[in-house]
Amino acid sequence: MVADGRAYVVGPNALIHLQGGSYLVALQEAVTPGRDGSGLVALRAFVDDPSLGLAPGTQLLVGLARAAHPTGASVVLGLPQLQAQEASLAGVPSATAKFPSVVFPTVTGGIGAEAVALAERFLGVPYAWGGATPSGFDCSGLVMYVYGLLGVSLPHYSGYQWYAGPRVPTEKLEPGDIVFFHPSANGPQHEGLYIGAGEFIHAPHTGDVVKISSLYDTQYALSYVGAVRPYTAGTASSSSSSLLPSWTSAPG
């Protein structure tokens, strides 16, 4: 495909960055907003540049291939915890009609890069306060869910996840590091997964969807707290539990 005058060879879940913070996701295996179930989006365009003539935050879904509807059938397109009927995958490269379990993307770069690749599958999923499934995520729920698929146990609260691994200086950020924002007496109140090049994927707030933003956007640059690398602590949560403060947990 050709985007912004450049030719790309794309496979499932290919992410293409455009100017002005906009991006495309090709052949996305995804939950389809407004529907109960999974489907395949041939092309998802997220617009963040008003010069394109669309309001920032607009999403365009092109070629939604027979989205599945809930019938109590098995997992579809590698997305667990969804009651969905099998969607047609005819003509889709590197895909089969049925997945017996979660299908992990083939990536290089370690567990952090794997976490990013998994999170990108959920671009466009609606924000849901307290949500931690592909039907809806809040910020910490998305990070907890993705790392849980990789065997890393995290609590469902940004203030607790702030203590889930060693701190990472900004100049040493790597894909998969958890970046935190909005400091408070109870710890950071927002977070996302760093994906590289100053960008992160997150579930922002009610009325929004899982999307990619820049650390350099004013709202995030001014509220940035820091980052941690959770997978260096291993899969056991008990090693860091003694570091957790005693405030009341709440999703966020």
Helix ranges (DSSP H) in 25-67:
none
pLDDT in tens, 16-56: 777 777 778 777 655 544 444 455 667 778 777 777 777 77
Sheet strands (E) in 20-58: 23-31, 38-46
Q: Is 156 a catalytic residue?
A: no
* Residue 211 near residue 123 (C-beta atoms within 8 A): yes
171 versus 61: the higher-pLDDT residue is: 171
Tokens of 248: 């009341």
Q: Is 17 a catalytic residue?
A: no
State whether residue 115 is helix, strand or coil: helix
Catalytic residue among 17, 156, 202, 205: 202
Residue 11's contacts (CB-CB under 8 Å, 6 or more residues apart) are 26, 27, 93, 94
Catalytic residue among 69, 139, 156, 182: 139
* pTM for the full predicted model: 0.60
* Residue 87 near residue 40 (C-beta atoms within 8 A): yes
Nearest to 64 by CA among 102, 99, 29: 29
Nearest to 178 by CA among 130, 143, 127, 216: 143
Catalytic residue among 17, 69, 156, 190: 190
DSSP letter at 10? -
The four Cα atoms 164, 165, 171, 177 give a dihedral, to 10 degrees, of: -60
* d(C-alpha 29, C-alpha 95), whole Å: 10
pLDDT in tens, 204-248: 999 999 999 999 999 999 999 999 999 874 443 333 333 444 343
Q: For residue 169, give the amino acid letter.
A: P
pLDDT in tens, 61-93: 776 554 443 333 333 333 333 333 333 333 333
* d(C-alpha 244, C-alpha 162), whole Å: 9
